Amino acid sequence: MRCLFYLMLWIFLINVGGATVRMPLADGFDFPVGAPDGKGYYKARGMRLRSPIHFGEDWNGVGGGDSDLGDAILTCADGVVMFAYDVRGGWGRCVLIRHAYRDPKSGKVKFIDSQYGHLRSILVKNGEFVKRGQKIGTMGSNRGMYPAHLHFEMRHNLKTGMQRESVSRTLQNWADPTQFIRAHRRLKKDWRKHPVPTGTYAPYKGFKGI
């Protein structure tokens, strides 16, 4: 019962009490490289929630090596930029985008975050609205730490942000990006603007998102 109470409180806070921005629902999801279908790229590593864990997918150009360095990285859907910052460490330059969409099964409005890691450059700012297929950055190697590739994640849990170790490894919290995109290629357009929660990431010292 106590769990249920906190869940209801959390839902209340993010829907009523929390900060929001208003934006139209996404009209569909595309792949983040080789618009719109990933042409010219391949998934070098998939998502895996069991050891060895990989919370997302690694996308590489078919040319191999660093032939894809500097290639366009595209937002997979319309959304708002929640985080765009060089966090250095193993991540480097990283962008998080929040999308609102109507779930084709339940008909309800849902939210999902997409994350783009190891970028060479970032072309968007916190709070900016972006359109499906818009160039948000370029493919990088995190200053030569890896052969150039895109690390791409999708999260159902809006609290995850840059603190993914604090979120349990379940499919309620994490989406398999390719599966999710394939199941949501085209969605019914809805021109009304909907409230989208912001300020959901657990704050920490030096946090730079919205």
- Residues near Zn ion (CB under 5 A): 58, 151
Tokens representing 52?
Answer: 């060895």
Q: Please report how close the Cβ of residue 43 comes to Zn ion at its closest, in angstroms.
A: 10
Closest residue to Zn ion, based on beta-carbon distance? 151
State the minimum distance, in angstroms, from the CB of residue 151 to Zn ion.
4
Please give the Cα distance from 84 to 55 (Å, whole number). Answer: 19
Q: How far apart are CA 129 and CA 147, in angstroms?
A: 30
Distances in Å between the alpha carbon of 136 and those of 15, 190, 194? 28, 24, 23
Shortest distance, CB of residue 56 to Zn ion, whole angstroms? 6
Between 58 and 78, name the residue whose CB sits nearer to Zn ion: 58
Six-digit token string for 97: 């985008």
Min. distance of Cβ 58 from Zn ion in angstroms? 4
Give the nearer residue to Zn ion in terms of CB position, either 35 or 44. Answer: 44
Nearest distance from C-beta of residue 142 to Zn ion, angstroms: 10
DSSP 2-69: HHHHHHHHHHHIIIIIS-EEEEEPP-----SSSTTTTTTEEEEE--BSSSSPBSSEEEEETT-TTTTT
Return the closest-CA partner of residue 120 out of 97, 86, 90, 154: 86
Side chain identity, residue 23: M
Question: Between the CA atoms of 54, 57, 58 and 59, what dihedral angle is there, to the nearest 10 degrees?
Answer: 180
- The residue (of 55 and 101) whose beta carbon lies closer to Zn ion is 55
- Kindly tell me which of 30 and 57 has the beta carbon lying closer to Zn ion: 57
Residue 82 CB, nearest distance to Zn ion (Å)? 20
Nearer to Zn ion, 50 or 205 (CB): 50
Instruction: Return the number of the residue (48 or 135) whose C-beta is nearest Zn ion.
Output: 48
